[in-house]
Amino acid sequence: MTAVTLSDARAELVKSRALEGARSVLERGEPLTFASVAAAAGVPERTLYRHFPTREALLSGLFDWANQQVGFEGQRATDAAGHAQQVRQSFPVFDAIAPVIRELLSAPEGRRARSAHDRERQRAALSLVQRESAGLAATSARRVAAVLQLLTSASTWQALRDHWNMDGAEAAETSVLAAELILEAARARATSARWKPKTKRRTKTPRKVVRS
């Protein structure tokens, strides 16, 4: 077990204060700048730059902070039950930190921080589909996985909140229901493909040649 040094502990404290400061700035509806974050966090701006040298680094840190609020520990769901639990756990928390989530969705640096994990999300979604609807054709499995992955995303939470006036709990149940229906249809298609009889190729009968 590696001992935590005093320097490391101070660095973590500064980072934590900076990210809480960023949340405070966004909740007030102010532009997210290094000056505003430093003032809200109560740390010198040069200190903030030492830990987050670029705006992208700051948004990446804010992305990790948001995952901590959700309780995400790095394990992505690879079955239907885990998928439902993940959505029900995260969407209500998104309500509580809505300004942060919106910044991560809208700012180019926030989108880059989120897209850095796209491969992991895709692999998990494909594993889910392969587990829940074994035998589904590869192209269909990829398309179903894409939709299921989107249903767990903050973008879906935001769309349901903005266009249907749903809170996080209702948005989560909406997403879970959609996923259940999609997987039900995927299983039916996979089963149908396994039991579909193969048609035999008809061989051509040689035509008789009538000679006069």
Q: Render pLDDT for 157-186 as a digit per residue (tens, 0 to 9).
A: 999 999 999 999 999 999 999 999 999 999
Q: Render pLDDT for 3-41 as a digit per residue (tens, 0 to 9).
A: 668 777 888 899 999 999 999 999 999 999 999 999 999
Over 90: is that where the pLDDT of 210 sits?
Answer: no
> Would you say residue 66 lies in a domain?
no
| pTM as predicted | 0.84
Q: Quote the CA–CA distance of 81 and 93 in Å, as a whole number.
A: 19
Over 60: is that where the pLDDT of 56 sits?
Answer: yes
- Please give the tally of structural domains in the chain: 1
> Would you say residue 205 lies in a domain?
no
With b for 16 or more beta-carbon neighbours within 10 A and e for fewer, the 15-27 pattern comes to: bebbbebbbbbbe
Q: What is the mean pLDDT of the chain?
A: 90
Q: Quote the CA–CA distance of 57 and 212 in Å, as a whole number.
A: 91
Domain that holds residue 152: 75-193
Q: Render pLDDT for 100-158 as a digit per residue (tens, 0 to 9).
A: 999 999 999 999 999 999 999 999 999 999 999 999 999 999 999 999 999 999 999 99
- Give 206's pLDDT tier (boundaries 50, 70, 90): low
> Would you say residue 56 lies in a domain?
no
> Would you say residue 25 lies in a domain?
no
> Would you say residue 27 lies in a domain?
no
